[in-house]
Amino acid sequence: MKIDFEDFENSIINFTKENYKNYLRNGLAEPSRYINDFLDFDLYKDTNEIFFDFENYNFNSLSNESEEQKINLKIYIVCRNDKSSELKKKILQYATDFYKFFEGSNNNFNGLIDYGKIDTVSFFDAVEGDTGLKLAQLNISMNAEI
């Protein structure tokens, strides 16, 4: 059994970076950064960004030779640098298009995991009290046998 958290996380991020843009509707710019770091709105200030938070990994033994890996992934889509009303519209569109992207990958990032499901989607209209900063949070539960 081989576990490499860095390779796993990078494969999910790279797959998203290469394929999410194909699901974006006309008029939406591709996110400028795909960030595997905590939300830092002072450090990361681009107009459209996606953050990945591989929240935790849980393991259950299936046999002496394999385990079930459960991963909770939070995706944060951030929009800024526009009028509040336009940002609200854009964040809803980016989240919708991400949902379609994940569904289009067979809910498993095209085989990088065995199964995944978007459990919740939340929207934040005034991040840190700033109406010019909108955020969508998508929680994805993922399972893989290793």
CATH code of the domain containing 86: 3.30.2000.10
Mean pLDDT of the region 75-91: 94
| Mean pLDDT (whole number) for 10-36 | 96
pLDDT in tens, 25-55: 998 999 999 999 989 998 998 999 999 999 8
First vs last Cα of the chain: how many Å apart?
6
Q: SS3 for 11?
A: helix
pTM: 0.91
Number of domains making up the chain: 1
Task: Evaluate if residue 1 carries a pLDDT over 60.
Answer: no
Torsion of CA 25, 29, 33, 39, to 10 degrees: -80
33, 127 in Cβ contact below 8 A?
no
The domain in which residue 119 lies consists of 5-145
pLDDT in tens, 92-124: 999 999 999 999 999 899 988 899 999 999 999
Dihedral of the alpha carbons of 133, 79, 134, 91, in degrees to the nearest 10? 160
Neighbour count for residue 17 (Cβ, 10 Å): 14
